[in-house]
Amino acid sequence: MHTGFLLLALLTLASAGAAMCLRNLVHCALCVAISFVSLAALFLTLDAEFVGFAQILVYVGAVAILIVIAILLTRDISGHGQSLVFKPWTLGVGVGALVAGSLVSAVTSSAFTHRELPPAPAATVRQLGESLMTTYVVPLEIIGLLLTAALLGAVLLARRENEGGGRS
């Protein structure tokens, strides 16, 4: 096993686990940001440079920071001293463990997954752009529409309820 991969995998899993377990929500958000960064590094080890840096730009630079801001803006005033998890928490963890067990057993029993790394493909940015504009042009347009709708929806939702139009 490759040491670099092992370290990154451990970092990813540890920070993801910490993000799901810690009490302080800001710690959780930062742990998930670390997890996103190490995933981006894993993408780089798989020669997917573009996706790796897109991951940093979108997930670490935008999604995680939005989560931090949302946490800072929604600090719970009433719920001090309450349990952080739903009461039969073993249920959720059990479902998680069950999924993990079945997925891992399926993966380890498959013959296909023992492949060694083939030589690196030459995926240039130009190729990516060309296939985005030809083969994947319809999904690209749809995702543009989706992002516009999400932008408008987020603005509408985050508006104060009692404010009747006019000012945003």
Partner 1 sequence: MTTLQSYLILSALLFSIGLAGALTRRNAILVLIGIELMLNAANLNFIAFWRYGPHPEALTGVMFALFSIGVAAAEAAVGLALIIAIYRHYKTANLDKVTTLKG
Partner 2 sequence: MMNWFNNLSPTSQFVLFSALKVVPAVLVMLFIVAYIVLVERRLCAFIQDRVGPNRAGPLGLLQPMADAVKAFLKEDFMPAHVRPVYYWLAPALVMIPSLLTLAVIPFGSQLGSQKMVVADLNVGILYTFGIVSLGVYGIVLAGYAANSKYPFMGGIRASAQMISYEVAMGLSVIPLFLLVGDLNLSTVIGDQTHGLFSWLVFRQPLAFAIFLCAAFAETNRTPFDLPEAEQELAGGYNVEYSSMKFALFFMGEYANMIAASAMMVTLFFGGWTLPFFGLDQPAATVLGGLVHIGIFLAKLLVLLVLFIWVRWMWPRFRYDQLMNLGWKGLVPLALANIVVTATWLWLKS
* 47 touches partner 2 (CB under 8 A): no
> Which one of partner 1, partner 2, none is in contact with 53 (Cβ closer than 5 to 8 A by kind)?
partner 2
* 145 touches partner 2 (CB under 8 A): no
Stretch that binds partner 2, among 76-84, 101-109, 122-130, 158-166 (CB under 8 A): 122-130
* 133 touches partner 1 (CB under 8 A): no
Q: Given the complex with partner 2, which of 10 and 72 has the nearer CB atom?
A: 72
> Which one of partner 2, partner 1, none is in contact with 17 (Cβ closer than 5 to 8 A by kind)?
partner 1
CB contact set of 71 (below 8 Å; sequence gap of 6+)? 25, 26, 28, 29
- Rounded distance between C-alpha atoms, residue 130 and residue 137, angstroms: 9
Q: Taking the complex as a whole, how short is the minimal distance between the CB of residue 155 and partner 2, in angstroms?
A: 10
CB contact set of 85 (below 8 Å; sequence gap of 6+)? 92
**CB-based contact 44:67 (threshold 8 Å):** no
Near partner 1 by CB under 8 A: residue from 30, 60, 103, 164: 103
CB contact set of 53 (below 8 Å; sequence gap of 6+)? 40
